[in-house]
Amino acid sequence: MRFLLFIITAALAGCSHLSPVTTPVGEGKVGIDAPITYRCKSDRIVKVSYHSGTMAVVEYEGRVREMIIAISGSGARYAGGGLEWWTKGMGPGSEGMLLNHRNDGTPGDIIERCVQASAG
């Protein structure tokens, strides 16, 4: 009986690394910023959440794209899902630009020119 209790205890201890609760994406994680709203010259809205400085989640025209940080001469540049998001500056009034992303890794045509409206 003690041996069986030992086996059960050892088995349960081995499973202690498993989390009993699944956290929804974006909740309770460190390094995820609240969405920032950008208003574009076309009057469309781009919402962006920045994740640990290496990824941006960009929402535009009802579609969400995860983009990873890319090399930039100035500002911050993110690429993914056939698009690029480039920003320069911080806070309301800072610039943002949405572009097509070419297969060779270079920026394509500008889709939107935007200005940060708010955080949230």
> Each residue of 33-91: pLDDT tens digit?
789 999 999 999 999 999 887 899 999 999 999 999 988 877 889 999 999 999 998 88
On whether the CB atoms of residues 110 and 96 are closer than 8 A, the answer is: no
**Do the domain assignments include residue 8?**
no
Domain count, the chain: 1
Q: Does residue 16 lie within any of the structural domains? A: no
Whether residue 105 is contained in a domain is answered as yes
Range list of H helices, 1-120: 2-14
Domain range enclosing 41? 31-119
41 vs 115: CA distance, rounded Å: 8
Task: State residue 111's pLDDT score.
Answer: 97
What's 65's domain CATH number?
2.40.128.200
Predicted TM-score (pTM) of the model is 0.68
Q: Which amino acid is at 92?
A: P
